[in-house]
Amino acid sequence: MNAAEIRESKRNKCLGFRSGVPWKMAAAVVYYLACAAFLVLAMVTPPLVPADGWDTFLVKVSSLVLFLWMISPALLLSDTPLRDKLPFLKEHIRIRSLVGMMIVFVMFQYLFMAVEGLHSPAYREAFEAYLRTFYIGG
């Protein structure tokens, strides 16, 4: 294999760019930009309620978990060596890939809830009051 063939074999492995269909590539660009924008905004935006250093750190970790969940289809369904090592995803069968992504979703949901459970009681109380005030109307 020469250098040009190696470059070509590595190209277009990302989700949305494999087939070369313009509308799929446009949708993928929007998706990737939205994920990147979420990560940047989540990292620079302060917590919604007053928080100490630990709670602020946990808000950022929660945001990172959400970003990883959002980008996981691109990471796990693209034609990469990572996909070839994961059960349910390595066989490239749609229903098995769907089941694999559902398992990933449940794992990220559990991870998110585990991180959120580490907040201090004062932060939880303040956040619940914030939700009641702005979303429940109480």
How far is the C-alpha of 3 from the C-alpha of 21, rounded, in Å?
A: 25
Of all residues in the chain, the percent with pLDDT exceeding 70 is: 90
Write out pLDDT tens, residues 83-138: 888 888 888 889 999 999 999 999 999 999 999 999 999 999 999 999 998 887 65
How far is the C-alpha of 41 from the C-alpha of 80, rounded, in Å?
A: 28
> What is this structure's pTM?
0.82
Please, what is the average pLDDT of the chain?
Answer: 89
Tokens read off for 65: 């978990």
Asked if pLDDT for residue 10 goes beyond 80, the answer is: no
Q: What is the pLDDT of residue 114?
A: 97
Residue 78: alpha-carbon gap to chain centroid: 14
Residue 89, class by beta-carbon neighbours within 10 Å (0-12 exposed, 13-18 middle, 19+ buried)? buried
Average pLDDT over residues 43-54: 94
